[in-house]
Amino acid sequence: MSAECYPIATLPHSTRLLRDYLAMGDAGASSPVRAWYGAEPLGRAWMGTSAAGADAGALADALERQSLIFGAAPAALANIAKLRSGARAVVTGQQVGLLGGPLLTLLKAATAIVRARQATSVTGVEHVPIFWTATEDHDLEEVDQVSLLTKTAVETLRLGAKFPHHDVPVGDVILGGQIDGLLDQAADLLGHAPICDLLRECYGSPSGGEARTFGGAFARLMTRLFAEQGLIVMDAAGRDFHSLGAPALRYAIEHAEELEAALLVRAAELEAAGYHAQVLVKPGASLLFLVSEPASQVEGNPGVSSREALRRLPDGTWKAGNGGAAGAGNSAKSYTAADLLAILDEAPERLSPNAILRPVFQDSILPTAAYVGGPAEVAYFAQSAVIYQRALGRITPILPRLSATLIEPAIGAIMAQHEVSLPDAMRPAEELAQRLGARAMPIQAKRRLAAAGNALDEALTAAQDYLGTLDASLGKSAEVSASKMRYQMDRLRRLAATYELNKEAGLRRHAEAMTLHLFPDGHPQERVIAGVWFLAACEAARPEVATPGAGLIARLVEEAASQCPGHIVIRL
């Protein structure tokens, strides 16, 4: 496994809340964070503390029916049988991104698989991995794209799918005939690797039969990729699962005012501790969405449901709409709490949770031992904890997903040639190129520039100190002038580095290649480049592996056993 473990702060824009959460096991860990999250994320305290979920038999029946549709292999069906017999679950999930979405999707699934194995080994109680597909989201723009690499750029393919009208859950959006053209483009970029055949099986337009949707295609792909590991892929949008999770939805209706007050207090606590709330909670905002009945649809879109946020009005009634905005999808109808409870009894699939309530809804269905999440989900859980405590009487531990950068052999060779580590590469290409140019300067030039810079800095510091003793304003002027002279000295260094870059053109190309693969578009690789791109790259390197993607999937599962409390490098 990888021996390169870097602090999570290596990744740009990592939040203080995430850093403090990962440090919960340290002696000096922040006490508020410990109270919000419960068990330490990298220890074993979370194992063996889970409570049973809903009816195990009904849950297993629903999962089995769905998994057969997704093409589940015997290992997943065996894990469903374990749930029927009382097994616990390690759960993760992600939006239903096109062609599987970014690399982090695979990293989440691999982490859940490993943590389930570890918990089984330590406690003697069976734990199984479950992947919850976020089909009830409605951010189509975010999932309607996939980013792959060419030799010189990140190429983002967009399907151009359209909502029938506003606020349709993305999982139900039909891929349409244009998906075949996109699969052709993806195959060209992926070198027509074997994984392309699997993508066509899962996403391609079927000859007869039901049209592919974002949710169904994504679930089939994840089920097939992690077939050997027995990953259970779950779409909870239907009646079966909403019936099992109805207690959490009922609690959110009956205790709406109490939960709003608790969430506002938690938001104030987060801000007082120097953090921020991931979800802004406004007075009157509820934790629920309402799916309209087909009969009440926008004219011209018969039979298609919309998903609208519920708001509580000062008179105690509830109203469905898009935050009060005008336009399609806004309902003029108001509901009493009794109306919503009646809908929950008759058609529970019409009510769904928002981001803060979703973990509690999930854990009223599943016997969850822990949830594996990314940075945003870690932030959500700080707020969800207040609902957990009231609705379920416990807080489900959240564990960090594997955070990793995958380095191909060719890129690794370039890094070794220039003695570049991962933190060096987490910067714009031009900045990295300047560093390579500076390193390429003759040793004598480096020494002379260093000596000149040190002498200048020493002289300027002495001058500033002396002038400051004569007069405060004179000292301030000296400080400004010294800053300008130091800037000019830095400019000389940059000019010398640029000269080396221009003299040796390969340096700039190498910097651009490293940045493209490791820090594309100024973001960590795992959040941008599609997981299928790496699956294809590994297939090209190991053609003897028969199952599409199996070699890399097994490697990610192996690496996920790492207890690195930050970010690791995986060299392929």
Which residue's structure tokens are 């800095």? Answer: 457
**Dihedrals phi, psi of 98, to nearest 5 degrees:** -60, 130
pLDDT of residue 297: 40
501 token code pair:
């870059």
Whole-number Å distance between alpha carbons of 492 and 516: 28
pLDDT of residue 408: 93
pLDDT class of 328 with cuts at 50, 70, 90 = very low
Whole-number Å distance between alpha carbons of 468 and 377: 51
Please tell me whether the overall predicted TM-score, pTM, comes out greater than 0.85 for this model: yes
Give, in order, the Cα–Cα distances in Å from 546 to each of 194, 195, 542, 550: 9, 11, 9, 8
Lowest mean pLDDT among 228-232, 297-301, 483-487, 523-527: 297-301
Is there a contact between 11 and 403 (Cβ–Cβ < 8 Å)? Answer: yes
pLDDT class of 324 with cuts at 50, 70, 90 = very low
29 token code pair:
């860990």
Which residue's structure tokens are 């949770």? Answer: 353
CA-nearest of 319, 316, 308 to 354 is 308
pLDDT digits (tens, 9 = 90+) for 374-431: 998 998 888 999 999 999 888 899 999 999 999 999 999 999 988 999 999 999 988 8
Whole-number Å distance between alpha carbons of 307 and 289: 6
Q: Is the pLDDT of residue 325 over 70?
A: no
Q: Where are the domains of the chain?
A: 1-45+55-422+524-572
pLDDT class of 364 with cuts at 50, 70, 90 = very high
pLDDT of residue 302: 43
CA-nearest of 20, 12, 10 to 400 is 20
Please give the average per-residue pLDDT across 521-538, as a whole number: 95
The pLDDT mean for the chain works out to: 87
Q: Is the pLDDT of residue 326 over 60?
A: no
Sign of CA dihedral 456, 461, 464, 470: negative
For residue 44, give every residue at least 6 positions away whose Cβ sits within 8 Å of its Cβ, in sequence order, or none. 122
CA-nearest of 572, 407, 526, 529 to 14 is 526
Please give the average per-residue pLDDT across 537-544, as a whole number: 69
Is there a contact between 212 and 203 (Cβ–Cβ < 8 Å)? Answer: yes
CA-nearest of 135, 139, 138, 181 to 158 is 181
pLDDT digits (tens, 9 = 90+) for 193-203: 999 999 999 99
Is there a contact between 177 and 207 (Cβ–Cβ < 8 Å)? Answer: no
- Secondary structure element (H or E) that encloses residue 156, with its range: strand 154-158
**Dihedrals phi, psi of 405, to nearest 5 degrees:** -115, 130
pLDDT of residue 41: 82
- Any idea how long the chain is? 572
Please give the average per-residue pLDDT across 147-170, as a whole number: 84
E-strand ranges in 167-275 read: 232-234
Which residue's structure tokens are 């049973």? Answer: 52
pLDDT of residue 198: 95
Higher pLDDT, 296 or 238: 238
- Angle between the 429-440 and 472-503 helix axes, to the nearest 10 degrees? 80
63 token code pair:
């999962």
For residue 116, give every residue at least 6 positions away whose Cβ sits within 8 Å of its Cβ, in sequence order, or none. 89, 90, 127, 128, 129
Is there a contact between 531 and 147 (Cβ–Cβ < 8 Å)? Answer: no
Is there a contact between 93 and 372 (Cβ–Cβ < 8 Å)? Answer: no
Q: Which long-range contacts (CB under 8 A, 24 or more apart) does 201-206 make?
A: 203/99, 203/175, 203/179, 204/179, 204/180, 205/175, 205/177, 205/179, 205/180
pLDDT digits (tens, 9 = 90+) for 255-292: 999 999 999 999 999 999 889 888 888 887 789 999 87
Per-residue b or e along 529-551, where b marks 16 or more CB atoms closer than 10 Å to that residue's CB: bbbbbbbbbbbeeeeebeebbbb
pLDDT of residue 116: 96
pLDDT class of 85 with cuts at 50, 70, 90 = very high
